[in-house]
A and B are shown apart, each in its own frame.
Chain A
Amino acid sequence: MNGDHAPDRLDELLRQLDELRDPDLDPELEAVRTAVLLEDSLDITLTDDEISPDVLSDPAAVRQVVASRDGGRT
């Protein structure tokens, strides 16, 4: 999966992530949890601004972040 952020793989990842979402968890921590998973699975590095509920709870925003790394990954 590294360096190959195929849309279907990312969809699968987001679907799996959604199944594990904990509604009782502090949204900031949920964002950190999502960031750990995305960085580990996709071999990307997020900025502190991106490790936020606004970005990481929104699948469209996540896709945008990942797309921005393809071809110019940090």
Chain B
Amino acid sequence: MCGICGIVSTEAPPDLGLLRRMMGRIGHRGPDGNGWFRDRYAALGHNRLAIIDPECGAQPMCTEDENLWISFNGEVFNYVELGEELRQRGHTFRTASDTEVIVHAWQEWGEGCFSRFNGQWALAIWDRREQRLVLSRDRLGVRPLYFTRTAGGLLFASEVKALFADPSVDRSLDPGGLDQTFTYWSTVAPRTVFRGVEQLEPGHYAVFDRNGLRTAAYWSVEFPERGREPVQDVGANAEALRERLVEAARLRFLRSDVPVGAYLSGGLDSSITAAVIARYTDAPLHTFSLRFSDAEFDEGGYQKQMSALLGTEHQDVVVGPSDVADVFPDVVRHAETPILRAAPAPMFLLSKLVRENGYKVVVTGEGADEVLAGYDIFREAAVRRFWARDPGSAKRVRAAELLYPWMARSPGRAPAFARSFFGRNLDPDDPAMSHRPRWDSTGVIKALLSADMRAEMARADAPDVVSAMPSDAQDWDPLSRGQWLEMKTLLAGYILASQGERMMMAHGVEGRFPFLDRDVVELASTLPARHKLFGLEEKYLLKKAFADLVPAEILRRPKQPYRAPDAASFFGADRPDWVEELTSERAVEAAGVFDPALVSGLMAKCARTGGENMGNTDNMRALAVLSTQITHESFVRTNDWTVAEQALPEAEVAIDLLNENRSV
């Protein structure tokens, strides 16, 4: 995994100094080497995390005729098979690198190549003859790709901070992007929280040439009409799922020239990926886990059990509240967006552990909850649909107790809570019925906004994600509509980004996700909904398919959502100084997002309680304020980037066709 960046300029030749500064800002993504290319109209930069063909895979790379140049971040796991197909069509290769296969695939199939790729990527190809830049991003948005339009062209990069290396790029927060973040937990591509900065949508490619910028989709997740799923037999589907997941995990473990480790959370998904690797490959497995000093969040017992069963070499890091607070500013600087939970911070510390142990690739269980229906939001939606069939029924209201056992023990509190949470917006015809409770409860953050920001958000009128839902979605199973919304919002914008890729790449670690394999996702989307969520049993088919590989205790344990202490991390006895500085009246007013008096009231409450025993709303508000203030401080207010720009070592590739200088 790497960092990519570039400049296209129709006016003056691209500024090499700017390109090097951009590369320096994302140096953490590729500590193993770097390279650049420039001609009259374009410059490409590359920071390399060397994983495949470390000796010969330096980038940017070109075709034999030096017409097509590529800067590539990611993996196309089926590059061996694609390379073979291309050889049969007459292509020859100078390296064993996947990157060379990709540029030849573009040469052979044009934009049709992207649907052939099975992997996780963000790439840029410069066609010198056509003076055309092509950008592309993987199906679900594992790898990031941002761009901004400039007076004479376009800048693009793996991270926004590289775009801000150009002082002419606007550095202000986008009210529409903030509105989406304070509703969906993240922006929805192509939007970002920065004005004028866009991200390429997952499953899309873009072309920039003398006719301007055009984007198009090469893939989108689709579901069959409810009842018309191709295979109804649960046994046959379990077998097919197992076959595809085993192959996906094997590909991700074996297609690497450096050792690959695995995360082990103690939950079902990472247990399955680790177990598959242990069962179906010969290589020794090293596993890594995150533990919490607070027993409420810790899953150490299950991690140890699974690690012992698989005989892995195991390492863990124990995280306490002050650890979260210590790294939180860095976490936000890497996430480049406000985050409403502290949960990314421990993931930042986990990837640090991986790197310190000499690993730079890990396989994880991300994506299973979205693709195979593991989240509580899907179970809650099933309960709400059940209740909506007869809201007056005394029996139906009890379904909420199946989700939250405490209700059964609190008959006095249960009905009121159930009505307030499950009974609100109970419209079965609403395509977003599954997500309204989450969006409503997140939206309370907006009560803290300043009057100006409120007005700007209203003017920005950020598009509602529901309006982008395909027209045939009305015929999908309601679970499929919920999965679609989850993939468009939380998966791409938060799970894979703020809590995923960014936290791994902060320490130069590449994550690989078997559950997001092309063939797994395509099978999963054709399954009958009841094979994924069987009544209220989440990931039913997955459990059935791998019952022999995972101990019953892990297979049957209720899903424990991954969480970390939120406000409690920042307002204990050892509260860091930056909390007070960044939430002072002056700082809040300068950022202009929140109302200083309301923030002051919230902070006083946090200080009074030490952040302990606060409700979901206040926890989210506190995190929203802290992370938004850090975002503003790091990207908008200051001109100096607060994470040190890395000094780059000598470039492995340095091709300046503007002056006809070259060294490789």
Given contacts A2-B227, A48-B390, contact A20 B537 (CB under 8 A): yes
In the assembled complex, the Cα of A45 lies from the Cα of B159 at a distance in Å of 50
**In the complex, chain B residues whose CB is within 8 Å of the CB of A29:** 398, 401-402, 408
Contact at A20–B534, with CB atoms within 8 Å?
yes
Contact at A3–B227, with CB atoms within 8 Å?
yes
With an 8 A cutoff between CB atoms, is B355 at the interface? no
In the assembled complex, the Cα of A32 lies from the Cα of B408 at a distance in Å of 13
**In the complex, chain B residues whose CB is within 8 Å of the CB of A39:** 386, 389
Contact at B534–A37, with CB atoms within 8 Å?
yes
Given contacts A2-B226, A2-B227, A12-B234, contact A40 B398 (CB under 8 A): no
Contact at A32–B398, with CB atoms within 8 Å?
yes
Residue of B nearest to A20 (CB): B537
In the assembled complex, the Cα of A29 lies from the Cα of B534 at a distance in Å of 16
**In the complex, chain A residues whose CB is within 8 Å of the CB of B535:** 17, 20, 33-34, 36-37, 40-41
Q: Which residues of chain A from 4 to 24 have any CB-CB distance to chain B below 8 Å in the complex?
A: 4, 9, 12, 16-17, 20
CB < 8 Å: which of A2, A31, A40, A45 contacts B382?
A: A40
Contact at A1–B534, with CB atoms within 8 Å?
no
Residue of A nearest to B392 (CB): A48
Q: Which of A17, A28, A36 neighbours the largest number of chain B CB atoms within 10 Å of its CB?
A: A36
In the assembled complex, the Cα of A17 lies from the Cα of B530 at a distance in Å of 12
With an 8 A cutoff between CB atoms, is B383 at the interface? yes
Contact at A36–B536, with CB atoms within 8 Å?
yes
Contact at B232–A9, with CB atoms within 8 Å?
yes
- Within the complex, the shortest CB–CB distance from A15 to chain B, in Å, comes to 10
Q: Which residues of chain B from 348 to 386 have any CB-CB distance to chain A below 8 Å in the complex?
A: 382-383, 385-386
With an 8 A cutoff between CB atoms, is B396 at the interface? yes
- Within the complex, the shortest CB–CB distance from A65 to chain B, in Å, comes to 15
**In the complex, chain A residues whose CB is within 8 Å of the CB of B383:** 36
- Within the complex, the shortest CB–CB distance from B602 to chain A, in Å, comes to 38
In the assembled complex, the Cα of A33 lies from the Cα of B395 at a distance in Å of 11
- Chain A interface size band reads 20 to 34
**In the complex, chain A residues whose CB is within 8 Å of the CB of B227:** 1-4
- Within the complex, the shortest CB–CB distance from B662 to chain A, in Å, comes to 64
CB < 8 Å: which of A1, A4, A36, A41 contacts B399?
A: A36
- Chain B interface size band reads 20 to 34
**In the complex, chain A residues whose CB is within 8 Å of the CB of B346:** none
With an 8 A cutoff between CB atoms, is B482 at the interface? no
In the assembled complex, the Cα of A36 lies from the Cα of B394 at a distance in Å of 14
- Within the complex, the shortest CB–CB distance from B360 to chain A, in Å, comes to 41
Contact at A40–B402, with CB atoms within 8 Å?
no
In the assembled complex, the Cα of A48 lies from the Cα of B390 at a distance in Å of 9
**In the complex, chain A residues whose CB is within 8 Å of the CB of B408:** 26, 29
With an 8 A cutoff between CB atoms, is A35 at the interface? yes
Contact at A16–B396, with CB atoms within 8 Å?
no
**In the complex, chain A residues whose CB is within 8 Å of the CB of B390:** 45, 48
**In the complex, chain A residues whose CB is within 8 Å of the CB of B661:** none
With an 8 A cutoff between CB atoms, is B211 at the interface? no
**In the complex, chain A residues whose CB is within 8 Å of the CB of B386:** 35-36, 39-40
**In the complex, chain B residues whose CB is within 8 Å of the CB of A62:** none
**In the complex, chain A residues whose CB is within 8 Å of the CB of B393:** 48, 51
Q: Which of A39, A40, A45, A51 neighbours the largest number of chain B CB atoms within 10 Å of its CB?
A: A40
Residue of B nearest to A74 (CB): B389
In the assembled complex, the Cα of A16 lies from the Cα of B235 at a distance in Å of 11
Q: Which residues of chain B from 387 to 435 have any CB-CB distance to chain A below 8 Å in the complex?
A: 389-390, 393-396, 398-399, 401-402, 408
**In the complex, chain B residues whose CB is within 8 Å of the CB of A26:** 408
Contact at B530–A41, with CB atoms within 8 Å?
yes
With an 8 A cutoff between CB atoms, is B528 at the interface? yes
Given contacts A1-B227, A3-B227, A48-B390, contact A16 B534 (CB under 8 A): yes
**In the complex, chain A residues whose CB is within 8 Å of the CB of B395:** 28, 31-32, 35, 48, 51
Contact at B382–A36, with CB atoms within 8 Å?
yes
In the assembled complex, the Cα of A3 lies from the Cα of B227 at a distance in Å of 9
In the assembled complex, the Cα of A39 lies from the Cα of B227 at a distance in Å of 14
Given contacts A2-B226, A33-B402, A36-B399, contact A48 B232 (CB under 8 A): no
Contact at B389–A1, with CB atoms within 8 Å?
no
Q: Which residues of chain B from 120 to 155 have any CB-CB distance to chain A below 8 Å in the complex?
A: none
A-B contact pairs, 17 of them (CB 8 A): A1-B227, A3-B227, A9-B232, A16-B540, A28-B395, A28-B398, A32-B399, A32-B401, A36-B399, A36-B535, A36-B536, A40-B382, A40-B385, A41-B530, A45-B389, A48-B393, A51-B396
18 extra interchain contacts, Cβ-Cβ under 8 A, other than A26-B408, A51-B395? A1-B227, A1-B232, A1-B528, A12-B234, A17-B535, A20-B535, A28-B398, A29-B402, A32-B395, A35-B386, A36-B382, A36-B535, A36-B536, A39-B389, A40-B385, A40-B535, A45-B390, A48-B395
**Which residues of B approach A to under 8 Å, CB–CB?**
226-227, 232, 234, 382-383, 385-386, 389-390, 393-396, 398-399, 401-402, 408, 528-530, 534-537, 540
